[in-house]
Amino acid sequence: MEAEDLREDLTCSICLDYFEDPVSIECGHNFCRACLHRSWAPGGGSFPCPECRQPSLPAALRPNWALARLTERTRRRPQGSVPPGQCGRHREALRLFCEEDQRPVCLVCRESREHQAHTLAPIDEAFCSYREKLLKTQSSLKDKMMKAVYFQDMEMKNATKWEEKMKNQRMTISAEFAKLHHFLAEEEQLFLQRLSKEEEEAKKKQNENKLKLHQKITSLKQLILEVKEKSESSTLELLQNPKDVLTRSENQDVSYSLEVLTVNTVCQIPMMKEMLKRFQGVCQVENGGVLV
């Protein structure tokens, strides 16, 4: 009871809360400096005391340091546990609900400066109103959760289908490229066979040309030896039909056309487009399609 009386003595009669920067006026009453300034009329003249209505001048304000220290010590002092349903500041029953602060308050709080402009409602009415809103919100949240769970199931099914499609596509790609590798390997062998055939034909022709040149050289060597022997023989032997050897020497033809060999079998990158077209045609035939 003494604590409640002390709190009453340390409460500003304007804001109904602990003094903040308390000041005394000429009649001896004490108020918060800010509360007193708000109660002054414009002009700066004398003003009536909010409690006894006795006039006082602003110049007569005096800080009440002792009251300020006592208020501060009291505010810091442990107040003990507050019974359920009572205001922790005024130890009064919580009978109202403050819409702005969203908490229950007592009747004394209602008169304080803190709640003067706030919307207050009886606590029972606020309880029923907010309980109804919470129940509706709970039902709405359940509906939203069911919808979210449905979307989650759909997303999981969609993901499963997508993974299966990715697996099938991966297998399809591997199979198609396996066919392509096989096709390219066959094309490689075909080009190598063509190249081998061309090489064989070229070597055969080269051997024929070499044989002809070898025979021509051998014939010329023999004729040179014969001409030499004829020129070194005796008079009678030399004059035995010398025209024959001369004629044969003059008739020797050594004209020869050297053929520059080229490689006709060439595999070029642009040919890959035609090969791929052919491969597509092969795939269409294998899959029951029509080769166009």
Q: Does residue 116 contact residue 133 with C-beta atoms inside 8 Å?
A: no
Residue 165: the pLDDT is: 94
Residue matched to tokens 């597509």 = 280
Residue 273: the pLDDT is: 63
Q: pLDDT band for 291, please (50, 70, 90 cuts).
A: very low
Give the chain's length: 292
Helix (H) or strand (E) holding 106: strand 103-106
Q: Is the pLDDT of residue 271 over 80?
A: no
Both structure tokens of 287: 């899959």
Q: pLDDT band for 77, please (50, 70, 90 cuts).
A: low
Taking each helix axis from N to C terminus, what angle separates 123-232 and 242-250, rounded to the nearest 10 degrees? 160
Arithmetic mean of pLDDT, 172-177: 91
Backbone angles phi, psi at 97, to 5 degrees: -125, 125
Domain at 1-77: CATH architecture: 2-Layer Sandwich (3.30)
Q: pLDDT band for 166, please (50, 70, 90 cuts).
A: very high
Q: Does residue 227 contact residue 242 with C-beta atoms inside 8 Å?
A: no
Domain locations in the chain?
1-77, 137-281
Q: pLDDT band for 164, please (50, 70, 90 cuts).
A: very high
The structure's pTM equals 0.43
60 compared with 291, residue with greater pLDDT: 60
Q: Is the pLDDT of residue 143 over 50?
A: yes
Residue 184, classified by CB atoms within 10 Å of its CB into exposed (0-12), middle (13-18) or buried (19+), is middle
Alpha carbons 100 and 135: distance in angstroms, whole number: 22
The average confidence (pLDDT) of the chain is: 83
Q: Is the pLDDT of residue 212 over 60?
A: yes
